[in-house]
Amino acid sequence: MAQVGFGDKMVNTVGELPAVGSKAPDFRLTDKDLKDKSLKDFAGKKLVLNIFPSIGTGVCQASVRRFNSEAEKLDNTMVLCISVDLPFAQKDFCAAEGLDNVITLSAMRTRAFGKDYGVLFTEGGFEGLFSRSIVVVDESGKVIYTEQVPATGQEPNYEAALAVLK
């Protein structure tokens, strides 16, 4: 398990992020049209998995906005913004903000993604949600970068995540 700052306390996640060099775990997540998506649906593309607790918080919103602005500059790359929020909330946020370069995916049907990627909070105020993390996957499905942000209120290192895609 990993520990992440939540306010003035450290809280645990269910595990660790996938190791760099390992095969990215498959997943079942729900898109804005309530259709299930898996890793196979994005085969042959580089992926940035922008994982966060909730689209309803400022830092999470900032990460979606930033990756949306970066996504159009990335070759053969898709940015997947992943949280436990309902697809309707994710869709409404992106529509209100004019964000159309990212794909939002929800873990509303199962928390298996959170367990398999090691990001599910097991305690604290965000128990059951995901810790803010970035996982970058290459075209072959191999993990090439990970970051679990050390404090929930902190933004990820965008530059480091994007640098591995060039």
Active site residues: 60
Residue 128, exposed/middle/buried by CB under 10 A (0-12, 13-18, 19+)? middle
Could you tell me the sign of the dihedral formed by the alpha carbons of 117, 122, 124, 129, in that order?
A: positive
Comparing CA positions, the residue from 162, 9, 3, 143 lying closest to residue 79 is 162
Task: List, in order, residues 6 or more apart from 22 with CB less than 8 Å away.
Answer: 142, 143
